[in-house]
Structure 1
Amino acid sequence: MNRHQKQSQLRGLLISIEGIDGAGKSTIAGQLERKFIAEGYPVQLVREPGGTIISERIRELLLDPGNQQIAAKTEALLYAAARAQLVAEVIQPNLEAGQLVICDRYTDSTLAYQGGGRGIDLEWLRDLNRLATGGVRPEVTLLLDLDPQIGRNRRSTRQGPGRPGEDRLEAESEAFYHRVRETYLQVAREEPQRLRVMDASKPLPEVVEEAWEILAQSLNL
């Protein structure tokens, strides 16, 4: 299959990668991007919150440990604003141009963190997600499932002299992350065809290989 055929095959497809902090989402997203490029597929990697100038400024506001006073619904609305800008400025144009888009976090993060973690009604959040994305949904979502204690241990190894400390969400309690994890798994049970649960405690090369196999099967690569 030549590059043009591959571009046509994956036109308009969005992949999202989800999981608690420390699950390895960003690392695995980068590895998958390189694999797609090596196979000749046109791909764009983005992250949430972020990916545009406006969205990155919102990210700074959301993750600043000094902003503990942000109310739960304010937090949800700020994430939605960052997402709306990312979809309008980057995701939608790239999908329309025939790019495969990999998103490091997307709408399920809102359900897990602001729903499970903060206790906001999930249906309210689903409505907010639809408003922010204009209905742009992932074809496949890889859920990197991980015990919160392992996630915290991994995050602690990333910190040290010259490295940033925990951001506002990373500093949340283990109980918070257990609620986040359970909500992720709840959503996965509700949408098993889209959300594919993976054991993120395995060695990184194994997780990357399993992720690639899931995508190859799901997208008929």
Structure 2
Amino acid sequence: MAEGSGLFVSFEGGEGAGKSTQIRLLADSLSSRGHEVLITREPGGSAGAEAVRHVLLSGAAEEFGTRMEAILFAAARSDHVEQVIRPALDKGVVVLCDRFMDSSRVYQGVTGNLDADFIETLVRIAVNGTYPSRTIILDIPAEIGLKRARVRAGSDTAEPDRFEKEKTETHEKRREAFLDIAAAEPERCKVIDATQAQGVIAGEVLAAVEPLLGTVPADRHKEPEAAQ
């Protein structure tokens, strides 16, 4: 378990996998049981990281290359960990994060063709010892996920962000990379079929997290909060 008495759960997966929906459903379930829950995201989650998020997703940093993007992601993650995640864990909060270190390994490492040792160094520095106790990987074929992402944006012709606009083959390669991470770290990572019905997925997510809740305080009665 991460530092303090809280629980850190990250959610990973390709575009359109339904991470935000499942995070909200899990937060509601845990909150109803008396756990204090914090919902956050990457890139972003803290004031400094949100500023970097805009630069990254708008594509403004793309011209400087993938290596610079990876460094910016790491800077945002460091601020996020120090300002939001670690303080919450120290207070016994359940932290649910939409993307974390594995996204850097996949997006900048595998499909960004950056050296794995370079990525791992950035990850180690940015997280500073604060690793998720459980990572939920929502697995979905790239073609289906991208279609969902376009619908979510409001139209099949909606303008995609920096990463959604890339080729289907690239997204499928990322899918395989997430599955490789899960195979390498089965104790931390749990893969869930994201093509299933929303309620079925939610049940599997809860089942994957429940075994880790034993030492987390459950005497609070607050609605899930979102990091600013």
TM-score, structure 2 as length reference: 0.87
Cα distance, 1:217 vs structure 2: 2.9
Aligned with 1:213 (options 207, 210, 225): 207
Report if aligned partners of 1:49, 1:56 keep a CA contact under 8 Å in 2.
yes
Percent identical pairs in the alignment equals 36
Report if aligned partners of 1:14, 1:137 keep a CA contact under 8 Å in 2.
yes
Aligned with 2:66 (options 60, 72, 87): 72
Cα distance, 1:115 vs structure 2: 1.2
Deviating more after overlay: 118-127 vs 198-207: 118-127
Cα distance, 1:15 vs structure 2: 0.6
Cα distance, 1:165 vs structure 2: 2.5
Partner of 2:218: none
SS at match of 1:205: helix
Partner of 1:189: 183
Partner of 1:177: 171
1:175-206 C-alpha deviation (Å, 9 max, x unpaired): 21122111111111110010001101111111
Partner of 2:151: 157
SS at match of 1:102: strand
Q: What is the rounded CA distance, in whole Å, between the counterparts of 1:148 and 1:21 in structure 2?
A: 8
Partner of 1:93: 87
SS at match of 2:63: coil
SS at match of 1:196: strand
Paired AA for residue 102 in structure 1: L
Report if aligned partners of 1:117, 1:180 keep a CA contact under 8 Å in 2.
yes
**Counterpart mapping for 1:98-113 below 5 A:** 98-113=92-107
Partner of 1:128: 122
Change beyond 3 A, Cα 1:133–1:149: same
Gaps of 5+ in 2: 216-228
SS at match of 1:69: helix
Partner of 1:202: 196
Paired AA for residue 183 in structure 2: R
Cα distance, 1:57 vs structure 2: 0.8
- Asked if 1:18 corresponds to 2:15, the answer is no
Report if aligned partners of 1:112, 1:183 keep a CA contact under 8 Å in 2.
yes
1:100-155 C-alpha deviation (Å, 9 max, x unpaired): 11111110111111112111122221111110010110101000011000111101
Cα distance, 1:38 vs structure 2: 0.6
- Asked if 1:50 corresponds to 2:44, the answer is yes
Q: What is the rounded CA distance, in whole Å, between the counterparts of 2:80 and 2:118 in structure 1?
A: 21
Cα distance, 1:216 vs structure 2: 1.1
Report if aligned partners of 2:140, 2:194 keep a CA contact under 8 Å in 1.
yes
Gaps of 5+ in 1: 1-9
Partner of 1:33: 27
Q: What is the rounded CA distance, in whole Å, between the counterparts of 1:159 and 1:100 in structure 2?
A: 29
Segments ≥4 residues shifted beyond 6 Å: none
Deviating more after overlay: 151-160 vs 56-65: 151-160
SS at match of 2:76: helix
SS at match of 1:17: strand
Q: How many residues align?
A: 211
Cα distance, 1:211 vs structure 2: 0.4
SS at match of 2:50: helix
Cα distance, 1:39 vs structure 2: 0.6
